[in-house]
Amino acid sequence: MPSRTARAATAAAITTATLLQEPPRLAVLIDAENARAAQMEQVMARAVRYGRPTVRRAYGDWTTTQLTPWKKVLQVHAIRPCQQFHHKRSSKNAADITLVMDAMELLHARCVDAFCLVSSDSDFTGLAGRIQEAGLRVYGFGQRETAAVFVAACDVFCFLDAAPSHEAPG
């Protein structure tokens, strides 16, 4: 059995390591076609509570007028726009698929410690579950209309159209 001095030294080393530990690295992935640009200030303010956003990307067809309000927001928050053209009617989920592919690349590269998924689209339920299977946390952000299954799939879900501090455990 280790001596009292050895146990105290170990406890001190663990405490020091914890204090020096970097905050978790976050990937903030935004479904810009299904999120509101006006709420990004709120999203980013909440995201920093969970860690340090090191990857910030927004997905959509940036050639459409629908995403015009995002242009200023992208610059203010240093969010990288990821272009996905809508060539046909069948490509309506093209931006969602690109977001999922990028999330899986980030997951397997192990360059982030948690994910913030910004969307009210329940199509991301499977992605949230897969990220959790790999041992990472998922923070969801969306509207009250978000399907209960996606809310439940996230570790924490922040309702952006609710009271400022309302978060639902997943």
Domain edges within the chain: 22-169
- pTM of the shown model: 0.83
* pLDDT tens digit sequence for 115-143: 999 999 999 999 999 999 999 999 999 99
Tens of pLDDT, residues 35-84:
999 999 999 999 999 999 999 999 999 999 999 999 999 999 999 999 98
The domain over range 22-169 is classified in CATH as 3.40.50.1010: yes
Strand residue runs (E) in the chain? 25-31, 52-60, 80-83, 114-118, 137-142, 156-159, 167-169
